[in-house]
Structure formats: structure tokens, C-alpha cells
């Protein structure tokens, strides 16, 4: 991912283009530790290169919010907003 993001950053700088990483996420069938680590890695890698980003969806299969309990999933929230 870092190598790919670096290539994108070089292109963006050469062409004076902003980069938006849209709709990334980790599906809830994966364990929470892996989801949290991956989510954090993508968000921080994007931010380090001044890419904007958006997490894919609020409270369904990829969500960072538990709609049944009406609360954030703390690990994912912290990965998104440290």
C-alpha cells in the first residue's frame, strides 16, 4: 500500500492534483483487531501524503458505529480519528 500511495503522490505532485481515497473499509466478518489495524494504516498512509479520505459507511457491514447498541465501535473510531 505504501509503495502504491507513494507512486500516486508523485503523480499528484507532478500534475498538481489532489487525491481522494474514497470508501475504504474493512468488513465485519474480519476480526476487530485486523479491521482496526488496517483502517488505521490506510488513513494514516493517506494523511501522510496529504490525501483526503472517507471511510466506507456508517453502521452496516463495514461500519464504525454499532446501530443496535447506539454507540461507536471505539477501536474503529480511534483508528479513524486518533
Which string of DSSP letters, residue by residue, matches 5-69?
HHHHHHHHHHHT---EEEEE---TTS-HHHHHHHHHHHHHHHHHTT-EEEES-SSSTT-SEETTT
List per-residue pLDDT tens for the chain, 82 residues long: 999 999 999 999 999 999 999 989 999 999 999 999 999 999 999 999 999 999 999 899 899 999 999 999 999 999 999 9
Q: Whole-angstrom distance between the N-terminal and C-terminal Cα of the chain?
A: 20
- Please indicate, yes or no, if residue 12 is contained in any of the structural domains: no
Q: In terms of residue numbers, what domain contains 46?
A: 20-80
Domain count, the chain: 1
The answer to whether position 49 is within a domain reads yes
58 within some domain = yes
Are residues 35 and 26 in contact, defined by beta-carbon separation less than 8 angstroms? yes
73 lies in some domain: yes
pTM for this predicted structure: 0.91
Residue 57 lies in a domain: yes
Position 11 in a domain: no
Residue 9 belongs to some domain of the structure: no
Amino acid at each position: 500500500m505504501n509503495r502504491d500511495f507513494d507512486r500516486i503522490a508523485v503523480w499528484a505532485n507532478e500534475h498538481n492534483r489532489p487525491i481522494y481515497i474514497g470508501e475504504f473499509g474493512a468488513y465485519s466478518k474480519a476480526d476487530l483487531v485486523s479491521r482496526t489495524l488496517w483502517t488505521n494504516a490506510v488513513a494514516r498512509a493517506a494523511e501522510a501524503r496529504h490525501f483526503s479520505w472517507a471511510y466506507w459507511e456508517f453502521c452496516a457491514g463495514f461500519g464504525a458505529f454499532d446501530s443496535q447498541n447506539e454507540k461507536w465501535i471505539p477501536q474503529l473510531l480511534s483508528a479513524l480519528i486518533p
